[in-house]
Structure 1
């Protein structure tokens, strides 16, 4: 089991235990309720009820069970493998593909395809997420690095933590960005009103930094490059909305009106990925061309310019 500990702050006073913990731990309220029901969560050494309201200074201990070994079915998904050797694999994920199995997505995921493509994946994340070092959203396309052994996995994770990897995205956003370059330095945390969303907030957040520069301006849209310094959930999508330029066709953070452009899901593509090879130390950089749907959107934007 993995032990998690936290101390309740004055800001959290009076909140239900599940709400208070969901804002600081990487678990949903329903997961926390399950842990309470199973007796895996204690406050000041005592088991509590789901309705318990926290007080400042409460010491919370959560014993997270080891991941269950799910039977992941290997599927021939004809993955776009950009690079592969004995230690690492780089794949260009299509828009619409989920990275790893989850309730509601037990097949057709990147992990299902990887299990068919090769059997020598790292096991650090358990059977559910073999080899997966980092993720990109279901409706974001582009490059992902995959570890084929535990040594490679640890190296790649450490590079992510040290912010030495290179991760560049291409995005089409609503509105005209007047300045050519910029940096968004704004902490991101879970939205307390919409639990499935992230937002810029000072409360229970983590630092997040995105650098961007303008590639091309259109009538009412801008084509940009975004480079991640940190890797928070939905970071680019949240940051671009925060500065008033949400990503085209983003169903979660974009305009409510359905997009009239030929793309299903946010116009965001992980175009460049760079890291030091875990074994040789050589800096390796890979690039994936824009998917056809984003190319079609850019073509339509150019036509609208007249």
Structure 2
């Protein structure tokens, strides 16, 4: 008995030759490799792929822009994972130590540059055709930022229209940003809202609290909920939602409300002292502010659907939790 389904299969190159009978097979093979053929709206690049008659689902040319959306975790740098990608935006999950965006003062690579390098790799022409309808270079555009030593999710726009839409969501407080933080202290209430006026210092680097509305001061609003209390150490695990999004907002507001973040070298007095004293151990052995951007929720700029992305706390914060549960003293 023969298998009729196998007999009906041919290679992608064979079907392409049937679709374009006037084109030499060598040229068709080059076109396939460069991403010029699409199957069900997705670019296909393997000439030897075997398949049954694709009919009208095999096309030559640019796929529909909305046809492709990709969502699985792929590490594109030792400190950056690509979580989601489509023609409008990317969601990346960055580790502590990686800059969000390039800065003039630091020559280190940023998450934006890592993403640009990945998307514009010379070997990625087919990917660009698939997602953006063209092999032309893609320019990632920042929507918001994370401090260098804050880990977690970043949303990056991939065209000007999407960026304007996402920034509008930020300003109207429709852009969901939730964080997990570990505050060194006891929260006065299991949940609540911090409202303060903040003003950047003369260098434009650190925030300062001001008593009320003043020239150069901006109101900061942060909502918090206590998820767990490590009573032995008087440390509170917090889920925090930003309403406004100023530089260092969570860090300085947590400190101002009696919950400076574990490991914060700017707004936590105990960590400042340990850093200043040569050879001193940092509290709980934690080397950065204990802050992780865990959730992003947006209305997609094109589809208008609500989408949400989440990230688990990284290994160093998992280890911090273990220490808080088991250690007898700060170490």
Give the TM-score taking structure 1 as reference length: 0.69
How far apart are residue 77 of structure 1 and its match? 2.4
For 1:147 and 1:103, the matched residues in 2 are separated by 21
Runs of 4+ residues deviating >4 angstroms = none
The gaps in structure 1 that reach 5 residues or longer are 1-75, 123-128
> 1:108: Cα distance to partner?
2.4
Could you tell me which residue of structure 2 aligns to residue 237 of structure 1?
Answer: 251
The DSSP-based 3-state class of the residue aligned with 1:164 is: coil
Q: Distance in 2 between matches of 1:238 and 1:114?
A: 30
| SS of residue paired to 2:223 | strand
Question: Is 2:285 the counterpart of 1:275?
Answer: no
Aligned length: 225
User: What displacement does 1:254 show?
Assistant: 1.0
CA contact 1:98–1:105 (8 Å) conserved in 2: no
Give the structure 2 partner of residue 250 of structure 1. Answer: 264
TM-score (norm 2): 0.64
- 1:207 is aligned, of 215, 219, 225, to 219
Aligned: 1:298 with 2:326 = no
Task: Please name the residue that 2:95 is paired with.
Answer: 94
Write the distance in 2 (CA, Å) between the matches of 1:107 and 1:191: 24
* Paired residue secondary structure (1:241): helix
Alpha-carbon distance in 2 for matches of 1:226, 1:216: 13
Query: Is residue 262–residue 283 contact of structure 2 (8 Å, CA) maintained in 1?
Result: no
What SS is found at the alignment partner of 1:257?
helix
Choose from 259, 265, 279 the match for 2:288: 265
Is the Cα contact below 8 Å between 1:263 and 1:297 reproduced in 2? yes
Consecutive unaligned residues in structure 2, runs of 5 or more: 1-75, 121-127, 133-138, 275-281
2: CA distance, partners of 1:251 / 1:157: 30
Query: How far apart, CA to CA, are the structure 2 residues paired with 1:106 and 1:305?
Result: 41
Q: Equivalent residue for 2:311?
A: 288
Partner of 1:40: none
**Larger CA Rg, structure 1 vs 2:** 2
Question: Do the aligned residues in 2 keep the contact of 1:92 with 1:144 (CA within 8 Å)?
Answer: yes
Once the two structures are superposed, residues 258-297 of structure 1 have per-residue CA deviations (whole angstroms, 9 ceiling, x without a partner) of 3232432100000010000000000001110001001100
Distance 1:280 1:270 in 2: 24
Partners in 2 of 1:196 and 1:82 — Cα distance? 30
Distance 2:204 2:154 in 1: 26
| Alpha-carbon offset, residue 104 of structure 1 | 4.0
| Alpha-carbon distance in 2 for matches of 1:87, 1:195 | 31
Q: How does 1:5-44 map to 2 (within 5 A)?
A: none
Task: Kindly report which structure 2 residues correspond to 1:33-182, keeping only aligned pairs within 5 A, or say none.
Answer: 77-78=77-78, 79-119=80-120, 130-182=140-192
Q: Which has the higher helix share?
A: 2
Q: CA deviation at 1:305?
A: 6.4
